[in-house]
A and B are shown apart, each in its own frame.
Chain A
């Protein structure tokens, strides 16, 4: 009599628990990371905070509160970052879904299309938008040639241009986490949904989408944090009214040489970023089912 070998079943991906190592080994393994973090991040951060207080809190933090300009810039930075994040998720999700569903060669091609811009300098990609959006650029030429507008319209140096260019730059950061989660969702869930009577649209919205939310959240946090501190792109394609926090800090350090105030601005930006990320994560722990799976 034959005893068929049980087939090895692939498990739902799950991070290996730290408990599989002895505590001492774990500490040795993370020690280099802790050292780098302490020297390269915590120490400079501490110096930054001290610097922001060196001229007296009233001159830096007080000024931040007193002059409405800074609150305006901060608010507009957050609005821009939220818009960019939203655009990245909305545009990135279908791409991630296509990448996860396509067959080998097509998937490789799509992945290349997503990754190659990522490997290209942000500077080059920002300049590319200048070429496209400027007064006598490609888009204005097309609009005029089609008779849609009389003269060139102002596209460059606007809030819209900033959001457009930043979305382009940050799109891969939304696509890749969503893609990796979608790839890990077993096909059986979609099949199960179909066999239980859910059509394609319902199966997507009730099963695929909720199961991919951790990827969406990861992508959203990544995009938001990067967007909030973005420097090059808004500086190149944005106008004075679309100034971001990073540009403001840059101005303080390089033009006005007010280092304590720049340090205060940086500290506030960091604190707000952390606050929003923590709040976001907290609000995500609503779904017990998801947190027990991922």
Chain B
């Protein structure tokens, strides 16, 4: 196990009036794989830049294990980094690229450098490519060399800045598995920046969601999916339906929310944000798989009649886009096994019911990532 814990405390970075990273606290355990996700400009790359030491923070502290590295120059930090465009040195061969950190750090005796490089090439499954130049490799191969170069000197912390962004989908999925395999084998602590939330959910022990320079929530993929702390996270992680409404009361610890004339739903208060007082605007969030189709004639409470606007085939499941009659501004996304909704075409009249246990209420959204 080579990984070490990484702690960020009250870390902040601003450029003049622009706040790139806003008072961030983050504790990453040794050997943990943590992804930082967020839309472009959310500050995730800025955060990585601070951890790598390419720029000093405006305030706050960074620690690896017990060591304060806040103002240490990058070349004295023990951090391996995989860059978005790999940044392999074009004038050096693959072997020379991988040997570079060992020579710089004088960590290994000359005689053992060659062996370490060969071991690393083996690990990333490129043993026969040592004498090639980076430009003679494919994108996926270059990416693996970049990983090998970042890992060869056993850094306790590894940063990856959208390392798979330039690869096509098939290759990206294969590389995800490979990165995870290497990380688990070495026990390295990895911080992985990506704008692809699916990638983050696949790879990570925990996922941190950033928005407007602030950390919104950090948790396991399941936590983020089931208990998002705010509407932004609910929207960013996975697919989510939002229905605007007005808080009319509380009952059995649940919020009673009116979404349209005569339609009242009960929801748990989602996340850490307190729901404002009675009469204020809120929004209800529900996942596509928590909406059921119901017989149209059975006009029970909490049921919405609507029209199918589109039916999208996605393999084992089918997605229906349904516009409820009572809520003309909302299109609900419903996802269920394809065989259950066979024959429902565009224009079909249906009714939907929400699984109320899964319904969460958030304060009315001001801005979402969309």
Contact = CB atoms under 8 A, between A and B. Distances in A.
Verify that A and B bind, or say they do not: yes
Given A1-B239, A2-B370, A196 B104 contact: yes
Given A2-B369, A197-B75, A293 B39 contact: no
A193 B54 CA distance: 11
A186 B75 contact: no
B226 interface: no
B91 A289 contact: yes
Interface string A273-294: 0000000000000011110110
A186 B90 CA distance: 11
Contacts of B196: 4
Contact of A9 (B75, B133, B150, B166): B166
Contact of B74 (A4, A6, A191, A207): A191
Interface in A196-233: 196-199, 202-203, 206-207, 210-211
A195 B370 contact: no
B266 to A, nearest CB: 26
Given A195-B52, A211-B91, A288 B133 contact: yes
A146 interface: no
Interface size range on B against A: 35 or more
B90 A289 contact: yes
A192 interface: yes
A210 B133 CA distance: 15
B299 interface: no
B87 A188 contact: yes
B280 interface: no
B133 A192 contact: no
Given A191-B54, A198-B75, A292-B135, A207 B89 contact: yes
A189 interface: yes
A194 interface: yes
B191 interface: no
A7 B90 contact: no
Contact of A196 (B54, B90, B133, B149): B149
Interface in B313-370: 369-370
Interface string B179-208: 000000000000000011000000000000
State the majority secondary structure of interface residues on B: loop
Contacts of A9: 84-85, 165-166
Given A194-B75, A196-B149, A211 B90 contact: yes
B48 to A, nearest CB: 11
A202 B76 CA distance: 13
Given A4-B39, A195-B74, A195-B80, A290 B91 contact: yes
A189 B92 contact: no
Contacts of B89: 189, 192-193, 207, 211
Contacts of B136: 292
Contacts of A7: 40, 165
Contacts of B84: 9, 188
Interface string A82-108: 000000000000000000000000000
B87 A192 contact: yes
Nearest to B40: A7
Interface in A55-96: none
Interface string B93-116: 100000011001100000000000
Nearest to B81: A195
A192 B98 CA distance: 12
A211 B101 CA distance: 18
A101 B238 CA distance: 43
B225 interface: no
Interface string B39-73: 11000000000001110000000000000000001
B75 A289 contact: no
Nearest to B49: A191
B85 A186 contact: yes
B129 interface: no
Tell which of A2, A194, A197, A288 has the most Cβ of chain B within 10 Å: A197
B47 to A, nearest CB: 15
A290 B81 contact: no
A289 B133 contact: yes
10 contacts: A6-B165, A186-B87, A188-B83, A194-B75, A195-B74, A195-B80, A196-B80, A198-B104, A211-B89, A292-B135
A-B complex: 6 closest residue pairs judged by Cβ atoms: A197-B104, A196-B101, A192-B87, A188-B87, A194-B74, A289-B91
Given A4-B195, A196-B150, 18 more contacts: A4-B39, A7-B165, A9-B165, A189-B87, A192-B87, A192-B88, A193-B89, A194-B54, A195-B74, A195-B81, A195-B150, A196-B100, A196-B105, A197-B101, A206-B100, A211-B91, A289-B134, A292-B136
